[in-house]
A and B are shown apart, each in its own frame.
Chain A
Amino acid sequence: DAGITQSPRHKVTETGTPVTLRCHQTENHRYMYWYRQDPGHGLRLIHYSYGVKDTDKGEVSDGYSVSRSKTEDFLLTLESATSSQTSVYFCAISRGQGGETQYFGPGTRLLVL
């Protein structure tokens, strides 16, 4: 257990509303990631962070923003949710610098109506 929690675990929202997902870790890992998982696409990186206030874009970052004001928390915000953002969102952590293994949270299932 890598001490990762995600909240909420399930969410239903309407098109056009902002949504924030939270990832919390208890082990002070440097790297944190947000992925989305969709059938046929595997895992696609949205954004990642390599330290407090240090973030960068992944391959599918359009429509998403992130913030990391504390080591333990990494927030993913959908600025204005669209139906194409219906997905399962996973947070992951890694130590970095030789610790390539990524440990995943339990996921958040998001439905945008």
Chain B
Amino acid sequence: QQQVKQSPQSLIVQKGGIPIINCAYENTAFDYFPWYQQFPGKGPALLIAIRPDVSEKKEGRFTISFNKSAKQFSLHIMDSQPGDSATYFCAASISNYQLIWGAGTKLIIKP
């Protein structure tokens, strides 16, 4: 019940395409859903986050879509660029201090 399942494990998209990464959860008590971006050799960094009272949040080229009834949320990257190539992690939280992490998606944007 504490798991967050993330798919796909890896994804290759042409420049300008829209990669979509999906996450699913079981615990309806989760109330905070962030996405983190990690470049090789670096720690993860917060990209964008959403709470379950909204269905979509957009920041620049990054959009989170949230489906509360299906217990799923996804990350879309518009007009993807080679610089977006990174590993992306979804996570969920039921408290202010502990995150449950997905396994990560390695994204490659081909020029």
Contact = CB atoms under 8 A, between A and B. Distances in A.
A2 to B, nearest CB: 9
A97 B89 contact: no
Contacts of A106: 41-43
A104 B102 CA distance: 17
Given A42-B89, A90-B43, A102 B99 contact: yes
A100 to B, nearest CB: 5
Given A40-B103, A100-B32, A94 B97 contact: yes
Given A42-B89, A42-B104, A43-B89, A96 B96 contact: yes
A104 B104 contact: no
Nearest to B31: A100
A50 B49 CA distance: 23
B12 interface: no
B37 to A, nearest CB: 11
Interface in A42-63: 42-45, 48, 50
B97 A42 contact: no
Interface residues of A, number: 24
B34 to A, nearest CB: 7
Nearest to B45: A104
Contacts of A99: 96
Nearest to A56: B98
B98 A48 contact: yes
Nearest to B43: A104
B104 A100 contact: no
B43 A100 contact: no
B99 to A, nearest CB: 6
A90 B44 CA distance: 9
Interface of B: 6, 9, 32, 34, 41-46, 49, 89, 93, 96-99, 101-104
17 contacts: A31-B97, A40-B9, A40-B103, A42-B102, A43-B101, A44-B101, A45-B99, A48-B98, A98-B96, A99-B96, A100-B34, A100-B97, A103-B46, A104-B43, A104-B45, A105-B43, A106-B43
